[in-house]
Amino acid sequence: MTEEFEALRRVARDYCDIIEAVGEQEQDWLNKVVRILPRLHAAVSAILELEKSGGKPVEANLEMRFSLFSKLHQLLGDKDAYWMEYDLGHEECRSGSLADDLTDIYCELKQGLHMLENEDADPDTVLLNWREGYKIHWGKHLLDAERHLYELSSRGNL
């Protein structure tokens, strides 16, 4: 494994640990998310420069995804929804969801971590899957989550 891949694997594990601990006496989880997302962004940016091709985004486990989304959505409450570029000006038209962003990032990273725990898993496949998934799916969620959390933090609403 390359140094860049190992850095991404570590931050992916840290991110998943934070999300998995949500609701288990974890009071400061959102501040931990605020701090880890830039680390995740930097780690994935480093692997985007590698000269490998291939990979595919992971297939979602819809039951697990919905369960996690529901839990995060409930915990976030009024911090969850945010405005997207094409939303109408009505409060009920906010279509962005921090719970959705965090869930989709988690699902992509967790799938790769599960593959790495399998003794016959190829780290290159995990790397390519994370990279391709980032490019076509969870990268946008990462940017949206960072932007929304910045807005919440700048207004003192974390």
The per-residue pLDDT for 87 is 44
The CA distance from 142 to 158, in Å, is 18
CA angle 88, 83, 29 (to 5 degrees): 155
Q: What is the CATH number of the domain that holds 27?
A: 1.20.120.1550
| pLDDT tens sequence across 92-142 | 555 578 998 999 999 999 999 999 998 677 888 898 889 989 999 899 999
DSSP type of residue 96: E
Residue ranges making up the domain that contains 135: 3-154
Domain count, the chain: 1
